[in-house]
Copies of this chain bind each other. A is one copy, B any other.
């Protein structure tokens, strides 16, 4: 009987010496390739000693049944702890096994097998810069502060509720970019010029759009039945915003069908921005 049938979700574990973010993100990406199955997930981060791993193996093995072999995605790098994990009866997808061996072969250097801490503090100065980017994004959210706009790496421009805020936060948090965002309102469409505060900063602006239906839906959740949420108003603002972007050669994307992660990747690619953290 195939494991993971509708009646028995396959247990999946993400085991790591650090936060488990890498094991989880790659593991979940692979599991998406099996849409007919269901899974129950558990993350077990910060395994730093052989003794801790011994307890983990007991837990893993207790989830085995005759029908189902649990899957374990591991990014444990310490060699001794890794060997302890490999004693489990579960199936281990050891991301620090063969793939890392391949990397070693290419680089002609042995891996240190120290505890990996990609998501640790790392370089404090770089980390502090990331934290400052979040602060900057908070202060410059929705045009809240127009001071110091010229020090932004990027200014997201869009009508209300097109996704400026979450996208700004994501870019700040994940990539350490100082992102301001500027809301377009009806008056901004009067002259055909860029609004005064961003007039000379067009080269670092990026526009967001949406579809009238999606925008109307999102606005309706905030102010049901309002003119603000009406299809006509949404449609008008999007049309004018698009014209404004085009006139000023501001690149733009439609946020209606994209996640913040996708928008961030597209924006960075298009604006030739690179992550502070890489």
Contacts and interface: CB of A to CB of B under 8 A. Distances in A.
This chain's copy number in the assembly:
2
Interface stretch (A88-96, A191-199, A225-233): A88-96
A114 B30 CA distance: 11
Interface string A234-261: 0000000000000000000000011111
Given A41-B278, A109-B36, A169-B173, A71 B119 contact: no
A261 to B, nearest CB: 4
Interface string A4-22: 1000001000000011111
A121 B258 contact: yes
B2 A96 contact: no
A134 interface: yes
B34 A118 contact: no
Interface of A: 2-4, 10, 18-22, 24-26, 28-37, 41, 43, 45-46, 69, 71, 75, 77, 91, 93, 95-96, 98-100, 102-103, 105-109, 111-114, 116-122, 127, 130-131, 134-135, 138, 141, 163, 165-166, 169-170, 173, 257-262, 264-266, 269, 278
